[in-house]
Every structure is written in structure tokens, then in C-alpha cells.
Amino acid sequence: MTLKHSLLVAGCLLAALGLTACGNSKSATNQQKVLNWSETMPLSTQDPSLATDTTSFQGLLNTGDGLYRLDRHNHPKLALAKQVKVSNDSKTYDFTLRSNAKWSNGTPLTAKDFVYAYRRTLTPKTKSAMAFYLYQIKNAQAINTGKKQPSSLGVTAISKTHLRIELTRPLSYFKILLSWPLFFPQNQKFIQKSGSLYGTQSRYTISSGPYVLTKWTGNNKSWTLVKNKHYWDAKQVRLTKVNEQVSESTTTSYNLFQAGKVDATQLSGQQVAANKHQAGYHKRLASAIQRLELNQNKVKAFANLKIRQAFSYAINRNQLANNVLKDGSVPAKGFVPSGMGTNPQTGAEFQNDAYVKNATAYDLTRAKQLLQAGYKEADIHSIKVTLLVSDTDAAKQTGEFLQSQLDRLPGVDISIQSLPYTQLIQRQSAGNYELTVKNWQAVFADPINFLDVYESGSSYLNNGWHNAKFDHLLDLAENHYGSQPAKRWQQLVAAEKVLMNTQGTIPLIQVAKPQLLRTKVQNVSFNPTGVPYDFKTVTLK
């Protein structure tokens, strides 16, 4: 799952806000309503059913709205729905939609737009990598696997303003899911008219939320969000527009900040050291994990457990976080990061309950011993592979560090290939890599949001690792103990331990995206367990 994948962290953003350089014809009042925001990655799509990266989801969040929307404290509040009734068994939700809800072209937004959106995402020919998030809806998984027709989905438009959603079981985090862009409505007439071009350029997008996307050609590195005059809650949107521009290097945005041309900037490690005591410094530790993925489908040697463990033991995560990146990122304790919930009985963090020390420990001597044993079992003497990374400064630093660490292993030869982010995502999604660095960003604060990435059948599982015990534990957690928090927790902890003991992946760091922000930028909220920034609430003092 990248948001997931490179929901991921898979992908990553953060950035810089600021005042725009308006022409003389613009009033000072209008100038104060414009933000300049610097992304680290470009948009890859604005089709909600196809998005997988954080930058794309951030665009979709700001141009869309859902039944719920997260407030500044990341609590779900009713949005396009003005009322909800939940059945006694917590499996049926009846929503009453706002009668004044409209699309950005002025046409009414109705319950049918939600029905169409969910059916479209689940239809196999759509090829949505995130469709599994809808599996808790009645018949969703059967539809996505081609066993049932989309019309059987447990989402019904009772009337224009009455939407019913039927779940297979109670879901404690369902309201949070509904506030995520994958669950936003979609306009059938507009999408069918756009055809295969839908979501590929700003003119092939339509908005249900605070802003409308403009000036995006599909491959350029800048775009603008303009206030949506037809948005039902437009009175609460304070900004006139948001200009966004991609800066792969923090040096560019930091220099603009220093020159007073922008009001916020993401920081590199060196910049953190110089600014961490400033009033506007924010550490921004996200619930996102960066990991090293070994593709067993491309490199047969990686099918050997001892070889995978050797690669993990050879990496000094403390050195990567504290001496290389130096940006507030912390060494990973497992695949599930901090912030993903606490033990319902003891209050312990998941990452502590499920900690498998050997899976993220550094021991070069042990690494060499395991590698030699793995070579013997696999009947090989060397491994020569290419490490695929993004072309950002931090990604290149990480790639070079991993190369230097792994090249110390006997017979291991690592070369590096850096790619623009959109190309990297395409290669990773297609499983077209030998060794790569992936990010996974949380969508909601629950361990399942990470663990189901490695469940058999997951669209994100393309490294060749599968484990029947792991699958069984997730099945128990979600389908048998879903309403028994303590027992569910035990299954999820056990599943994480299976993943780590078999080194299904190699966790590296929990990602930080430190930011320097001027105090005149008000009401900026950061969501560490979902889409990071919602511009709806931002104001300029």
C-alpha cells in the first residue's frame, strides 16, 4: 500500500508557504489571501481511484470533500453529510447529505456520486491499488476480485440526499476512512466525458471541496488551487488561492525563506541544526516508515532468509538518522511506526509491544556470518544489484549511505539509479526493481494500516514475500476479533513479529519532515497519520 505507498511514504512532501508576488492591479487584501506552497514531489494523478502518493492525495484533499473532514485536531467532523444514523450493530450508516452541496461546475452533488465513486474504485478494470481499503463494505472484495457485479455493493442512494453504507463488520476507524480522498464522491457524467484523460490535467478534474485545481498540465512542476465558489462551506475558506511549485531540493525553498519570499520551508539536516531553536521550527515527525525492499521476484538470492537478515544487520540506522539525515527522523523499531495506537489493556505503544530487536539491529560481524551461510544455502558467491531511489537530496543521501553500508558485505556490489519521483512510483508499483527504498505513510492511526501492505493479495505486495501465518493472524484480527480490542491487538502484534522475524522488509527510519514557519501564517495543522496539510483552515495574519 503506498500511500499508501509511497502513501507514502512511498511518497513524501512538506513545505513552504508564503505570500504571492501579485501584480500592481491586485489589492493588498488579495495579496494577503494567497499562499505559495513548495512541494518536494510532483502530482502523479488527480484521479481519486488511482492516487497512491502523498502529493496527489494532498491535491485531492484540498479539491475534494467527504462525508467527514478532519478538523485541526485530526478528529472527523461531518462535512458533505449533515447527519448520520448508525445501526445498533454498528454495521449500517445512514447519511443525510447537505442539500446545498454542489460540484465546482455548479451541478448538484447527490448520494449517487458516492455510489458511483465506490463502485468505480472497486471495478477490476479501474485497477485501483487502494481498492482494498473499501473491503469492509458489503460485497466490496468480491466485486474487486471479479466474483460479483458492482451493483451488489453495499452502498445505496436511497434518495438524492440519503446515502446508506453497509459494512461487513463494525469498524472503529470508519469515520476517519470516510474523511480520506479515496472515499470522496466522483462525478460520473464528468468522468465519462473525460474518458482516459480524467485526472491527468487540471482541465480534466472537477471539485467538491474548498479549491479548484488550475494550471496543471500533467507533467509540469507547478499548479494553483483557486477558491471554489460553489463549495458548500466556502465562507470558512480564507485563502483566495494557493500557488504550488515543486522544489526537489530544500536549498531552493530555504534560500527563498531566508530572502523573505516565502513563509515556510522544509529543512534538511544541516538546516535543522541551524534553525531548531527558532520560534517557527516544527519537527513534524510523521507516522511514516522508510524501508529497504528486496525483490525476491527479480533477485533469487533475496528469497533466502539469511541473506535478507544479513542486509538488515549491515545497516546502522542510528547513523543514518543522526549522522546522515539529521532532520529529526528516528531509527525504525519495526514496520509499524509510533502513533499507531496503544494496547487497550496496558497503554503500551504498538511499536514497543511488537518490537523484534534483531530485525532492526546493527551487527556487521553477524551480517557477514549470515551472508556466508546464505550464499552456501543459495549456492551463489556474490550479489550484484541496482538500488532504485528518488532524485531528491534526502533520497540520494539515503541511497549513498545504504550503498556504503551494504558494499562492506563480501561479494555484494550495489549500484544506484535515481529517478524522478513519478517514474520511481511507476517502477515500484510494477515491481520493476531489484532493490529500492519505499515509504509508507499512515492513512489512519491503526496498525492494520501498515500490516495489510504485506497481506497476500495486497496490490502493494510485489517483493515476492508471502507468509500464511501472517495472513491468518490478520484474518483473525479483522474478521474474528474486530469487536474485541484486546484480542485483536494480540493478533496484530503477533503479525508484526512474523513480518520482522522473517525479514519480509527492512525498516530503516520513521520519517520526519521538519519545517520552518513564520508566525504570521495561522491555523496550519499537521496530520502525522494521513494527508499532512489541509489548506481549508489556513489564514494569513
Q: Are residues 153 and 203 in the same domain?
A: yes
**Domain boundaries, position 96:** 28-243+514-540
What's the confidence (pLDDT) of residue 96? 98
What's the confidence (pLDDT) of residue 14? 36
Q: How far apart are CA 267 and CA 282, in angstroms?
A: 10
What's the confidence (pLDDT) of residue 40? 81
Close Cβ partners of 484 (under 8 Å, ≥ 6 residues apart): none
What's the confidence (pLDDT) of residue 8? 38
Question: 266 in a domain, yes or no?
Answer: no
Question: 280 in a domain, yes or no?
Answer: no
Q: Are residues 480 and 525 in the same domain?
A: no
Question: 21 in a domain, yes or no?
Answer: no
Please give the sequence-ordered ranges of beta strands (E in DSSP) within 302-450, or none if there are none: 330-331, 383-390, 412-419, 435-441
pLDDT per residue as tens, the chain (541 positions): 443 443 433 333 333 333 333 333 344 344 568 888 888 889 999 999 999 888 999 999 999 999 999 998 889 999 999 999 999 999 999 999 999 999 999 999 999 999 999 999 999 999 999 999 999 999 999 999 999 999 999 999 999 999 999 999 888 889 999 999 999 999 999 999 999 999 999 999 999 999 999 999 999 999 999 999 999 999 999 999 999 988 878 888 898 888 887 878 889 888 999 999 988 899 999 999 999 999 999 999 999 999 999 999 999 999 999 999 999 999 999 999 998 989 999 999 999 999 999 999 999 999 999 999 999 999 999 999 999 999 888 899 999 999 999 999 999 999 999 999 889 989 999 999 999 999 998 888 899 999 999 999 888 899 999 999 999 999 999 888 888 899 999 999 999 999 999 999 999 999 999 998 888 888 988 888 889 999 999 998 8
Q: Are residues 352 and 477 in the same domain?
A: yes
Q: Are residues 478 and 532 in the same domain?
A: no
- Is there a contact between 392 and 40 (Cβ–Cβ < 8 Å)? yes
C-alpha cell at 482: 474486530
- Backbone Cα Rg of the chain: 23
Residues 39-64 pLDDT 10s:
888 999 999 999 988 899 999 999 99
Close Cβ partners of 255 (under 8 Å, ≥ 6 residues apart): none
Question: 282 in a domain, yes or no?
Answer: no
Q: Are residues 319 and 346 in the same domain?
A: yes
Q: Are residues 481 and 358 in the same domain?
A: yes
Q: How far apart are CA 243 and CA 35, in angstroms?
A: 6
pTM for the full predicted model: 0.80
Q: Please report, for residues 151, 288, 510, the alpha-carbon distance to residue 318 in angstroms, rounded to integers and kept in the order given.
A: 52, 17, 11
What's the confidence (pLDDT) of residue 526? 86
Question: 485 in a domain, yes or no?
Answer: yes
Q: How far apart are CA 377 and CA 311, in angstroms?
A: 16
What's the confidence (pLDDT) of residue 12? 37
Q: How many domains in the chain?
A: 2
What's the whole-number average pLDDT of the chain?
91
Q: Are residues 35 and 82 in the same domain?
A: yes
* Nearest residue to 394 via CA among 285, 267, 264: 267
Q: Are residues 88 and 229 in the same domain?
A: yes
Q: Are residues 328 and 205 in the same domain?
A: no
Share of the chain above pLDDT 70, in %: 94
Q: Are residues 292 and 431 in the same domain?
A: yes
C-alpha cell at 16: 513552504
Q: How far apart are CA 530 and CA 70, in angstroms?
A: 10
Q: Are residues 496 and 522 in the same domain?
A: no
Question: 257 in a domain, yes or no?
Answer: no
Q: What is the CATH number of the domain that holds 451?
A: 3.10.105.10
What's the confidence (pLDDT) of residue 31? 53
What's the confidence (pLDDT) of residue 20? 36
- Is there a contact between 460 and 4 (Cβ–Cβ < 8 Å)? yes
Close Cβ partners of 270 (under 8 Å, ≥ 6 residues apart): 326
Q: What is the CATH number of the domain that holds 132?
A: 3.90.76.10
Question: 416 in a domain, yes or no?
Answer: yes
What's the confidence (pLDDT) of residue 441? 87
Q: Are residues 507 and 519 in the same domain?
A: no
What's the confidence (pLDDT) of residue 32? 61
Question: 105 in a domain, yes or no?
Answer: yes
